[in-house]
């Protein structure tokens, strides 16, 4: 007979918080990005507080943009804000064996996806401003595909030709579907008529027969 698993319990306590500004919700969700199914409420609280605890440093969580966002609040006040975000359905808790770990809800992920796309776009903008050479775009390979699609949508909607060198540097190093989408964005920025998707993919397969698409 198998032994019953003793799950680590938790209790959400918002301490009477009724609302949080959207900017704070976004930053709490940003801090959770490195913890999805890998950490829980306590670790997210430490990140937001700006803790230098061993469990933060050994996992390089001090490099999160959210690290220290609530440095002027007490641990209890930070925890209450994390719990409020959970109660409002932006984050949820799912058990992995004994441990209660954080996951994004659909509502929370919609916000985080936008935040990450904006963050990548800012990095591209900074790289284009700081150098005359095409930026190194290798950091975008293997990123979450939904975030990449949103980033490309933003670049396409900008109509800004200065993104073309970055896109041209990015296109050869990524996977087939991303390459096809990057070429589509380049054509849109240049005002060219877009080739049918079937033709684009056929040309791409013949040029990159050995390229393998990762599991989604």
Residue 174 lies in a domain: yes
Number of domains in the chain: 2
SS3 2: coil
Q: How confident is the model at residue 216 (pLDDT cuts 50, 70, 90)?
A: very low
Q: What is the pLDDT of residues 1-38, one digit of tens each?
A: 456 778 999 999 999 999 999 999 999 999 999 999 99
Q: Residues 131, 175: one domain?
A: yes
Residue among 162, 154, 117, 141 at smallest CA distance from 213: 141
Q: Residues 97, 31: one domain?
A: yes
Q: What is the pLDDT of residues 154-190, one digit of tens each?
A: 999 999 999 999 999 999 999 999 999 999 999 999 9
Q: Residues 134, 169: one domain?
A: yes
Taking residue 82's Cβ as centre, other Cβ atoms within 10 Å add up to: 24
Cβ 70 vs Cβ 52: under 8 Å? no
| Mean pLDDT lowest among 80-84, 135-139, 202-206 | 202-206
Q: Is the pLDDT score of 212 beyond 80?
A: no
Q: What is the pLDDT of residues 74-83, one digit of tens each?
A: 999 999 999 9
Q: Residues 86, 26: one domain?
A: yes
Q: Residues 124, 188: one domain?
A: yes
Q: Is the pLDDT score of 105 beyond 70?
A: yes
pTM: 0.85
Token pair for residue 43? Answer: 């670790």
pLDDT at 197: 54
Q: Residues 141, 190: one domain?
A: yes
**DSSP code at position 40:** -
Cβ 187 vs Cβ 193: under 8 Å? yes
pLDDT at 131: 79
Q: Specify the CATH number for the domain of residue 89.
A: 1.10.10.10
Residue 5 lies in a domain: no
Question: Percentage of the chain with pLDDT > 70?
Answer: 88
Q: Residues 123, 201: one domain?
A: yes
Cβ 211 vs Cβ 175: under 8 Å? yes
Domain of 33? 22-104
**DSSP code at position 104:** E
CA angle 107, 82, 46 (to 5 degrees): 130
């Amino acid at each position: 007979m198998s032994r019953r698993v003793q799950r680590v319990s938790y209790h959400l306590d918002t301490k009477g918080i009724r609302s949080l500004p959207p900017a704070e919700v976004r930053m709490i969700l940003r801090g959770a990005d490195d913890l999805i199914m890998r950490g829980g409420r306590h670790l997210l609280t430490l990140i937001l507080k700006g803790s230098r605890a061993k469990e933060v440093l050994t996992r390089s969580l001090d490099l999160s943009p959210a690290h220290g966002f609530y440095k002027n609040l007490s641990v209890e006040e930070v925890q209450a804000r994390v719990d409020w975000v959970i109660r409002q359905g932006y984050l949820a808790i799912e058990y992995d064996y004994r441990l209660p770990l954080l996951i994004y809800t659909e509502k929370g992920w919609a916000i985080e996806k936008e935040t990450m796309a904006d963050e990548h776009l800012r990095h591209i903008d900074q790289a284009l401003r700081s150098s005359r050479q095409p930026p190194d775009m290798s950091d975008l390979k293997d990123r979450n595909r939904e975030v990449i699609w949103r980033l490309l949508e933003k670049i396409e909607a900008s109509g800004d030709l200065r993104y073309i060198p970055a896109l041209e540097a990015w296109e050869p190093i990524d996977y087939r579907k991303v390459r096809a989408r990057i070429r589509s964005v380049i054509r849109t920025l240049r005002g060219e008529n877009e080739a049918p998707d079937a033709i684009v993919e056929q040309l791409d397969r013949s040029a990159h027969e050995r390229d393998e698409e990762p599991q989604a």
